[in-house]
Structure 1
């Protein structure tokens, strides 16, 4: 297991590379060019700039999250081939810089969805929160305003320029079914996976977050059955998943540890985090510790260990603790605690395995 840490770039993150380097066990950053609009080619000079920044601290740039997929590709519009060609060229450039994994998603319009960015918890910390009843009755425009009205930090997947066209986007998706989205995803994979294979980069789709329909939009990477269907679309080790315990775990019917054991050879990258799920469908992001949430993080890590997992992993969203001012979900302190918790489990398993 190779531990990494998400970093949003110089002047775009409260966390520095110097701080990341001081977290024991972290080998690389998970990064992206967040100023590049979805669908555009990534410039080689900017890619190499991030590589040089990371290498000053002996950190690798093996994992990119995300090379965003343009909405025209998800919609299956005639213009999609232009954006897919740009995607292919970006894959080729990232390979030249040494990238090994690209995480992406295929969620229409919205990326991850929460109703509150700083929900106060009993211990005084704050965390990302999802209130199901509010989503069921909230206009999409109100949610967008709540998320993007955060001028200090860019929110990946919630780019203001794109979401300013919300009415047009919803109109475009009207009538697109789950099966239509599956077909458009298959088309995309048929184009990009051969390029990924030639460049030795593994594509790893991120599950929908949360794993159910939002505002009537189709969502398809939501459970074990659909992940199996996805992997069978293109049966290649370069067509994989970013198994995110928090995204999938928001639905209590999803057994994340079982998915790890089932799909281990197709998981090049993993997000591990915990969530507390309530009976009414609400959920809040907790510390990584098993006891603090609804997911058995200990068993999830054990599943990776049993499977001989050698891919990349990162602690996912953390709480905001110790008065840290940071991008929602992406402070230093709680994610660093998460690293140590995950590695503590892993190190214990390694010792037990050596004794066996």
Structure 2
């Protein structure tokens, strides 16, 4: 596996590139132009500027997360072709600088959803928390206010240009069923996958977070059967999955290690993190250690190892430790600890495979 680390850019991240450089085994930065609104072309001058900065610290820029999909594409509006053409141009621009993987999602209106960005755990650390009863009873505008309580950093998936149209978007989606959303995804993929293939870029869709419908909006990237369906929409090695153990792990029915074993060849990029589930539908993010949550991180890493996985991996959301002031879920300390846990499992499996004494 090839370890990478998500970074939001200078002035928009509490973590610096020199700090990331000190985490063992990290070879690349997962990046994006977060200030470019969904649907607009990413300009070459901005791409080259960030490329120079990141590569100047010894990292590659092969993974982008995310090139956001405009809502008109998800809604299937006549205007979608304009935004799809812009998306194609961005793919071509990224191909010119050596990008090999683009992570994206197809979630209507909202990206990830949580009700508390700093829920305290037993050890005094805090983490992202989802309380089902609150979401079930909450007006979406209340959730927007909650998410934007952290004004120091932008919150990807909760961009102002999207949220300013909240009422309009909910009205637009009222007749969009899961079947229609699948149709709109199919239309999108049929047009961009050939361009991705021409530019040597694998498209990797991220699961819905959480993996079930919220606020009456359809969600389709939620389970094994739906990933099977996705891969059949456009049969190409450039149509792939960003397998996120945390997003999928919120649903106890999802066998994530089983998905790794089935879809390994279609996973260019993996997010590995843990969550602790509760019987009432709540969940909270924990350390990466398997015993701290409900997701068997060891078996997931083992599944990747069994398949000689050479794709990109990053630790996903971490806890907030030692009074670190950071973007919710994206501090330095717990993600660095997570990387070392993942390397520990991987290295132990490597030694066992070679017949050496286990770590």
Q: CA RMSD in A?
A: 0.6
Say whether the 8 Å CA contact 1:286–1:319 is kept in structure 2: yes
The separation in 1 between residues aligned to 2:279 and 2:196, in whole angstroms, is 42
Give the SS at the match of 2:180.
helix
Which residue of structure 2 lines up, in the alignment, with residue 136 of structure 1? 136
1:100 aligns with 2:104: no
Q: 1:200 and 2:207 equivalent?
A: no
Give ranges in structure 2 of 5+ residues lacking alignment: none
2:266 corresponds to which residue? Answer: 266
**Structure 1: tracts of 5 or more residues without a match:** none
- Structure 2 residue 298 is matched with structure 1 residue 298: yes
Q: How many residues are aligned here?
A: 356
Once residues 349 and 57 of structure 2 are traced to their aligned partners in structure 1, the CA distance between those partners, rounded to angstroms, is 29
Distance 1:325 1:148 in 2: 16
SS for the counterpart of 2:167 is helix
Aligned residue for 2:63, secondary structure, equals strand
- Contact 1:190-1:234 within 8 A present in 2 as well: yes
Matched, 1:168 2:158: no
How many angstroms does 1:149 deviate by? 2.9
Q: Which residue of 2 aligns with 1:218?
A: 218
Aligned to 2:57: 57
Q: Where in structure 2 are the equivalents of 1:314-353 lying within 5 Å?
A: 314-353=314-353
Instruction: Answer whether contact 1:103 1:206 (CA < 8 A) is retained.
Output: yes
Contact in 2 for aligned 1:102/1:203 (Cα 8 Å): yes
User: What is the rounded CA distance, in whole Å, between the counterparts of 1:205 and 1:127 in structure 2?
Assistant: 25
Q: Distance in 1 between matches of 2:351 and 2:93?
A: 40
Deviations 1:1-35 (A, max 9, x none): 10000000011100000000110000000000000
| Deviation sequence 1:130-165 (CA, Å, 0-9, x none) | 000100000001001110232101000001221011
Aligned residue runs from structure 1 range 279-298, under 5 A = 279-298=279-298
* Alignment map for 1:144-155 (pairs within 5 Å): 144-155=144-155
Cα deviation digits, residues 224-268 of structure 1 (max 9, x gap): 000100011011100000000000000000000000000000000
Query: Does the 8 Å contact 1:148/1:159 carry over to 2?
Result: no
The aligned counterpart of 1:67 is 67
- Given that 1:148 and 1:160 are in contact with CA atoms closer than 8 Å, whether structure 2 keeps it comes out as no
* Contact residue 205 and residue 241 of structure 1 kept, 8 A: yes
Q: Within 2, Cα distance between the matches of 1:148 and 1:239?
A: 33
1:105-137, Cα deviation, whole Å (9 max, x unpaired): 000000000001000111100000000010000
After TM superposition, the score normalised by the length of structure 2 is: 0.99
Distance 1:148 1:168 in 2: 20
Which whole-Å CA distance do the structure 2 matches of 1:150 and 1:326 have between them?
Answer: 10
Are 1:17 and 2:17 an aligned pair?
yes
Tell me the TM-score normalized by structure 1.
0.99
Query: 2-side partners of 1:52 and 1:109: how far apart?
Result: 33
Which region of structure 1 is more displaced relative to structure 2, 159-168 or 170-179?
A: 159-168
SS at match of 1:134: helix
Q: Distance in 2 between matches of 1:60 and 1:54?
A: 7
1:86 pairs with 2:86 = yes
CA–CA separation in structure 1 for the residues paired with 2:243 and 2:161: 29
Query: Helix, strand or coil for the counterpart of 2:4?
Result: strand
- Residue in 1 aligned with 2:34? 34
1:303 aligned counterpart, secondary structure: helix
Spell out structure 1 runs of 4+ moving beyond 6 A: none
Q: CA deviation at 1:346?
A: 0.5
